[in-house]
Amino acid sequence: MMTKAQTVLGTVDGAELGFTLPHEHLVFDGSAIFAEPSAASDKHMAHSPVGWKTLSWLRYHPYENLDNVRMLDEQEAACELLLYRKAGGVTLADVTIPGIGRDPSALARLSRETGVNIVMGTGLYTEPSLTQEYRDMSVDDIVAFFVRDVREGVGDTGIHAGIIGEIGCNWPATEVELRSVRAAAIAQQETGACISVHPGRNREAPFHLADTLRKAGADLTKVIFCHTDARLRDPVDRLRLAETGCVLEYDLWGWEGHFPSYWTSDDYMDIPNDTDRIYEVMALAERGHIEQIIMSHDICVRSRRVCWGGWGYAHIPTYVVPMMRKRGLSDAQIRQITVETPRRLLCFVQEA
C-alpha cells in the first residue's frame, strides 16, 4: 500500500510533495477578523484601498483595513503563487475554512494554473466568524461535516479536503469552538487526516487544546499547533508542548514586532524576527524535536504579498533557508522541517 496526500486535484504520491508550506491562505475573506481603528484620526483608513497611501500604516494595523483582510483577487493569488513555485516550492496547504471564505473551485483553478499542489482544509473557524447554522451543530454533526469534506468532497464540487484545520479557537475557547476541536479528534480517527489548530491568543491556550484533543482520542503526533512564534515566547513552554508529541508550527516568518493589543489576553505578545525564530528552531532541534517542527507564513492579508511590498509565499525558500544554513542547521535538518515532516502529516490516503 502506498500512502498519498489528498490535494484539490486528486491524490499525490508523498514523494512528489517536495518543499511544502503547511499553513497559508490564497483566497480568503477575513471580514470576521476586521476591526475598525479605535483612534478617531485613523477611522478613515478602515475603508481605504490597499495602496501606497496605506501600506506604511498597515504594517502596524494589518487587520484594521477591510480591503487588506479580503484577499479576493484570484489573479493576484496566482501571480504570488508562481513566485513560490519559481523559488522551488512544490506544495502548499491552504487552511482557509468556513468562517473565513473557503473557495474549493478557486483553489483547484489556482493549482491547475500554477502547477503547485494545493491541499485544502476542512474545519470551522472561531465562533464569531460562523453563521448560526454552524454554531448550532452538535459534535456528531461537525464530525460528519469534516469526514464528508475529506471522503466525498465539499458540496457538489468533488474537491476533497486533505487536512482538518485550521480549527479556530479564541481564549478562552467557547463551547462551540470546543465542539469543533473534539469533532476534529474524532474525524482524524475516522479519516487519518492530520489536524491543524489555531489556539487562542494566550500562552496557555495550546496546552488546554492539547488536553482536549488527547481526551477526545486524537493522535497528537498528527496534530499541528499553529502560531508557535506568537503564542509560546518562553522556551520552557515550547519544550513542554513538544513533549506532548505534537508538531510546533512556526508560521509567521517575515512578520516581527507585536500583536495588536486588542487581539491578545496576555499583557503583551511579542513576535520574534526571523533570526530569533531560527535560533528557537535550533534549540528545539538540540533537544531532539527536529521532527516536530514545520514552517510557513500564514499570509492572510494583502500587504504581506510581494505585489504590495510584503514578503510573499517565497520568503522561506528564498531568504530563510539560506539564513538557516549560515547559522548552522544542516541540509538534512532543513529538509526534515520543509519536506519530510509535512509529508508525514499530509499523507494518509492508502492506495494499492
On whether the CB atoms of residues 289 and 238 are closer than 8 A, the answer is no
- Averaged pLDDT in 10-residue chunks for the chain of 352 residues: 89 97 98 93 96 95 96 98 98 98 98 98 97 98 98 98 97 97 98 97 95 98 97 96 98 89 66 97 98 98 98 98 98 98 97 70
Superfamily of domain 2-24+74-301+315-351: Metal-dependent hydrolases (3.20.20.140)
Q: Tell me what pLDDT residue 264 has.
A: 62
Distances (CA, A) of 149 to 142, 146, 312: 11, 5, 29
For residues 195 and 296, what is the distance between their CA atoms, to the nearest angstrom? Answer: 16
On whether the CB atoms of residues 333 and 276 are closer than 8 A, the answer is no
The residue written with cell numbers 502529516 in the block is 345
Q: Tell me what pLDDT residue 2 has.
A: 64
pLDDT tens-place string over residues 197-252: 999 999 999 999 999 999 999 999 999 999 999 999 999 999 999 999 999 999 99
Give 339's strand partners: none
The alpha carbon of residue 236 and the mean position of all alpha carbons in its chain are separated, in whole angstroms, by 23
Type of residue found at 280: E
Q: Tell me what pLDDT residue 326 has.
A: 98
pTM over 0.85: yes
Q: Tell me what pLDDT residue 236 has.
A: 97
For residues 252 and 228, what is the distance between their CA atoms, to the nearest angstrom? Answer: 9
Q: Tell me what pLDDT residue 313 has.
A: 98
Cis peptide before 166 (omega within 30 of 0): yes
For residues 202 and 171, what is the distance between their CA atoms, to the nearest angstrom? Answer: 7
Q: Tell me what pLDDT residue 269 has.
A: 74
Alpha-helical regions (H) of the chain: 55-58, 74-86, 104-114, 132-135, 139-151, 175-191, 205-215, 235-242, 274-286, 315, 321-326, 331-335, 341-346
On whether the CB atoms of residues 131 and 124 are closer than 8 A, the answer is no
For residues 182 and 137, what is the distance between their CA atoms, to the nearest angstrom? Answer: 12
* DSSP single-letter state for residue 266: S
Task: Name every residue whose Cβ is closer than 8 Å to that of residue 37 and which is 6 or more positions away in sequence.
Answer: 43, 45, 46, 61, 64
The residue written with cell numbers 474545519 in the block is 123
For residues 335 and 149, what is the distance between their CA atoms, to the nearest angstrom? Answer: 30
